[in-house]
Chain A
Amino acid sequence: MKAVLSHQNAKPNGRDILVINGELSEYRGTEEQDKAQDLTVPSQDMKSQTFMSWVYRLGGASSSLRLYYNKNKGVLITSNLISKDEVGRNMVYSFFCNTVDNPTRVRKLLEDYCTVASVKPNDKDCEAVEKLLRFQKSKIKCVAAAVAVVVALILLISKCSSN
């Protein structure tokens, strides 16, 4: 399992704060940190769950919440923390985790890593992340169910119109 939390420093001239596999550090440009940082920037091979993120924003999740997903690579979450920087802005964070099968575990990891870094994530974001991952897992079932409903409706309508 590999997980990385990266968040901006509260000081505008401070280095990024990293939690790599549970270990807290300040970004110093080491090879390991660079590799870990690369995982926290959205890449082309990770699909953005824009629409569903928008749905969860209605439920109180942060408007900056983005979830990128690749079942073979992992999940990347970017959003703003409740914690603020020196100029009073909600600090930005990125969290990558290569576990995608267990949404509850991903949420727990995100919360734990934030605790290690002494910052607070938005509870609604954490809730939305778990739900988004559950949705992602059940997406195929949902699509199949939707297709079945549409087919059933078409059959029903055609039967009614033939009568």
Chain B
Amino acid sequence: MSKKNDMIFIGPQAAGKTTLFNVLQGDAAPTRHEATVSNGESTTIKTSAKRRFFNLLRGKVSVVDAGGKMSEFRHYKEWCNDAEKVIIVFNGVELLREIDDYKEGGETSSFLKMVLSQLEEIDASNLYFIATHADLYRGGGSMQEAIQQKVNRVNEEYVSLFKTKRYPMISQMRGCLFEVDATDPDSVEGVFSSILK
């Protein structure tokens, strides 16, 4: 049976869900600098950008941009069951910071663990993890190497943290990890070309 929506973005606060959503709509940068609240209703992409990829999505992809408030976390399972693809967005840099600080109860790692514990119950055919790192790019061109190192570390930590015996369901459920600069249309296009093909 086909699902109500094509995609749902879930994740903790300030992870970059709405930024990704706005870029998919054809906006190069967030149109509003506001936190969001959701009732699980989807929006069909109405891109106005001239980029071919984003225009290909016009009117074809329905996306739920779920809010990151805790009151909304408890509805994620219900909303995820209505979506073909579940996109779990988290701040990759924040995850590294939590790991470096040995902060067990950090929001990002707690959130991922909470989602992982529910994975078996979420009836999603496809599950994707997106580690955002937009805030690193604020440093400009000289930061590129440092960014690449961070991105590599996100990958390593993700594999060691989650793709282990502790969470075997991730590999069973084909959970993929992507890194994205949510404010960069090229980066977003690259990731979503893979996700949507």
Contacts and interface: CB of A to CB of B under 8 A. Distances in A.
Interface of A: 6, 8-9, 12-16, 27, 34, 37-38, 40-43, 62-64, 66, 78, 80, 85-92, 94
A37 B71 contact: yes
Nearest to A63: B32
B34 A8 contact: no
Contacts of B108: 13
Given A41-B75, A87-B14, A92 B107 contact: no
Given A89-B33, A90-B34, 16 more contacts: A6-B69, A12-B14, A13-B13, A13-B106, A16-B70, A27-B70, A38-B74, A40-B71, A43-B39, A63-B32, A85-B13, A85-B35, A87-B14, A89-B14, A91-B35, A92-B34
Nearest to A92: B35
Contacts of B144: none
B34 A41 contact: no
Contacts of B26: none
B152 to A, nearest CB: 24
Contacts of A41: 39, 71-72, 75
Contacts of A16: 69-71
Interface in B1-26: 12-14
Interface residues of B, number: 23
Given A12-B94, A87-B14, A6 B71 contact: yes
A62 B32 CA distance: 11
B107 A64 contact: no
Interface in B50-72: 67-72
28 contacts: A8-B13, A8-B69, A9-B13, A12-B12, A12-B14, A12-B91, A13-B12, A13-B13, A13-B94, A13-B107, A15-B70, A16-B69, A27-B71, A37-B70, A37-B71, A41-B39, A43-B39, A66-B37, A78-B37, A85-B35, A87-B14, A88-B33, A89-B14, A89-B33, A89-B34, A90-B34, A92-B67, A94-B69
Could you say which of B14, B34, B72, B75 has the most chain A C-beta atoms within 10 Å of its C-beta?
A: B34
Contacts of A80: 34-35
B68 A8 contact: yes
Contacts of A13: 12-13, 94, 106-108
In the A-B complex, the 8 residue pairs with the closest CB atoms: A13-B107, A42-B39, A92-B35, A37-B71, A12-B14, A90-B34, A80-B34, A12-B13
B125 interface: no
